[in-house]
């Protein structure tokens, strides 16, 4: 109970950090899309030239996907941020008739939700959060993939912002590498494996599992770190 609730409290601390960054992206893409609503560029299908589009439309597509992912992630956090308090087997028998009252008081003190039943071996809420994190990270990765392709020298339609400590090469000074895209794609590429690992850990026995819950802790941490990065 303590370990599960501690994990939930850490997730509660992570939520506003991740959501603040997603709101910054939302704001930036709204401005970018409006600014470039008439900037014509080549459309591409199956990596080949297609009819023209606008850069604003492309950015609006990024924005819409990330906004959907942010809303889904927010709902998943709301579902997951509940206390785990069931005692040895979920009956709260050690507290006698006061078990539910104690559980509600602990939930109130920790400012967490109070679930309809103990969930120690029911990991669906956390699974939903990991999956929602993967979806929003995947949408960010799609945007990064597009930008990195547009940054190729033979295309040259977009560039990341440049600074002394970003995007340069120690041996090829002409280069402007897509470093932000690289970080985003690295995070997105991790998420499918993390989702698979978490879903595998859902198969837990009876009222307390043998190894499954312990194996998922680093998976949840890695999913949050990848999403945040």
Q: Are 86 and 1 in contact (CB under 8 A)?
A: yes
- Residues identified as active-site: 169, 208
């Amino acid at each position: 109970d303590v370990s599960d609730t501690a994990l939930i409290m850490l997730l509660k601390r992570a939520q506003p950090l991740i959501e603040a960054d997603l709101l910054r992206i939302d704001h930036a893409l709204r401005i970018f899309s409006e600014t470039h609503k008439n900037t014509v560029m080549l459309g591409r299908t199956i990596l080949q030239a297609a009819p023209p589009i606008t850069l604003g439309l492309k950015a609006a597509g990024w924005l819409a996907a990330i906004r959907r992912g942010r809303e889904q992630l927010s709902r998943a956090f709301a579902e997951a941020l509940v206390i785990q308090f069931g005692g040895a087997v979920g009956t709260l028998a050690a507290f006698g008739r006061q078990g539910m009252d104690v559980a509600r008081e602990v939930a109130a003190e920790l400012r967490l939700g109070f679930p309809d039943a103990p969930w120690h071996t029911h990991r669906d809420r956390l699974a939903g959060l990991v999956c929602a994190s993967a979806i929003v990270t995947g949408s960010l990765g799609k945007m990064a993939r597009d930008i990195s392709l547009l940054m190729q020298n033979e295309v040259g339609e977009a560039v990341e912002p440049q600074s002394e400590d970003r995007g340069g090469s120690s041996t090829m000074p002409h280069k402007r590498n897509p470093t932000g895209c690289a970080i985003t794609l690295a995070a997105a590429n991790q998420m499918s494996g993390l989702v698979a690992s978490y879903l595998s850990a859902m198969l837990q026995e009876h009222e307390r599992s043998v190894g499954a819950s312990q194996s998922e802790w680093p998976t949840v941490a890695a999913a949050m770190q990848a999403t945040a990065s």
